[in-house]
Amino acid sequence: MFGYVLPSRDRLTEADKQRFRAVYCGLCRALGERYGLAARFILNYDFTFLAVLLWDGGDVEADHRRCIAHPLSGRDCFPGNEALALAADCSVILSWWQLQDALADPGKGKARYRAAALALQNAYERARERRPGFDGSTRAQLERLRALEEARCSSMDESADTFAVLLSGIAGEVADPVKRRVLEQLLYHLGRWIYLVDAADDLAEDFASGSYNPLLERFALEEGRLTEEAREGLVLSLDSSIRLMAAAYELWDFGAWSNVIRSVVYEGLFCVGRAVLEGTFHAAGGLRAPGGRNEEPL
């Protein structure tokens, strides 16, 4: 996962922003407490959103803490709970298998992935013990994806299905049967959307290097860019997935997180997808203002 899932800032109240910051820091803390310092480096917004979706029950009091990133000022931070633990475990497993996947890809520089894998090894082994089911399904889906890549699968739905099924598997850890069904659907389309947006983001690079990209197999290109018709087809597919996420969201009461999730599924994802298609979204820095100035922090 790559940090594409962002709420729309203007839609959030001050309280929402504080909560979102506190869950971000809470996930970082859960990663640190469960897996040590190295695991904190896998933190990103997509995993944070996952913790938000998994959140169970009412509000908990955030406490103010200093940490390695904020040694002086400190930050409000949610203490550990089941949602943060689950999000942390799944993040570690997912990051580990993505690293393995990158290491297996002949096209990429290996040294930094190897270093990262080494740093994450112990954390991964502990996470696998805690969530053997999710570890198994992640591995299976990424193997399936690798086979599809080798076969140069031209169905973007089928390739995206691997990551979608993988994410929706996390819902299996949720106890409430209705929430589980809602999350299965929501996470399926979230995974599908992330996979396709990431493919769109990598399009130019993959076109140049000849790496597999489902959009290159599926659509016609002109001068390394999607044709207008291809773009329209991709947009429809992305929009449909976002709408199905919103429809699923409405069927469960996410309590204090409702506003944050709403701002993601009714606005944020559309905007990120649009920025990616226009080439103005940079994974390294999220959205940038037209002049190249980074958006100010929340």
Distance CA 122, CA 246 (A): 37
Distance CA 53, CA 252 (A): 10
Does the protein bind another protein through residue 34 (CB under 8 A)? Answer: no
Does the protein bind another protein through residue 19 (CB under 8 A)? Answer: no
Contact region for another protein (CB under 8 A) — 56-64, 78-86, 144-152, 235-243? 235-243
The one among 158, 173, 206, 217 contacting another protein by CB under 8 A: 158
**95 versus 213: smaller Cβ distance to another protein:** 95
Contact region for another protein (CB under 8 A) — 56-64, 131-139, 141-149, 264-272? 264-272
State in angstroms the smallest separation of the CB of 7 from another protein.
5
- Integer-rounded Cα Rg, in Å, for the chain is 19
Of 59-88, binders to another protein (CB under 8 A) are: 69-70, 75
- Bridge-based pairing of strands 221-222 and 75-77 is unpaired
The one among 34, 128, 131, 192 contacting another protein by CB under 8 A: 192
Of 96-125, binders to another protein (CB under 8 A) are: 98-99, 102, 112-113, 116
Distances (CA, A) of 115 to 48, 109, 111: 24, 12, 6
176 with 231: CB under 8 angstroms?
Answer: no
**127 versus 132: smaller Cβ distance to another protein:** 127
Identify the CA nearest to 127 among candidates 164, 170, 184, 171: 170
Contact region for another protein (CB under 8 A) — 54-62, 95-103, 134-142, 144-152? 95-103
Distances (CA, A) of 112 to 5, 69, 108: 25, 22, 10
Does the protein bind another protein through residue 147 (CB under 8 A)? Answer: no
Distance CA 95, CA 120 (A): 9
The one among 147, 240, 255, 279 contacting another protein by CB under 8 A: 240
Identify the CA nearest to 262 among candidates 283, 247, 284, 281: 247
Which uninterrupted H or E stretch holds 292? none
Task: Provide the mask over 271-290, with x wherever binding to another protein is found by CB under 8 A and - wherever it is not.
Answer: xxxxx-x-----xxxxxx--
The one among 53, 131, 189, 261 contacting another protein by CB under 8 A: 189
Q: Report angle CA 171, 175, 88 to the nearest 5 degrees.
A: 55
The one among 138, 161, 170, 195 contacting another protein by CB under 8 A: 161
111 with 61: CB under 8 angstroms?
Answer: no
State in angstroms the smallest separation of the CB of 288 from another protein.
8
**7 versus 135: smaller Cβ distance to another protein:** 7
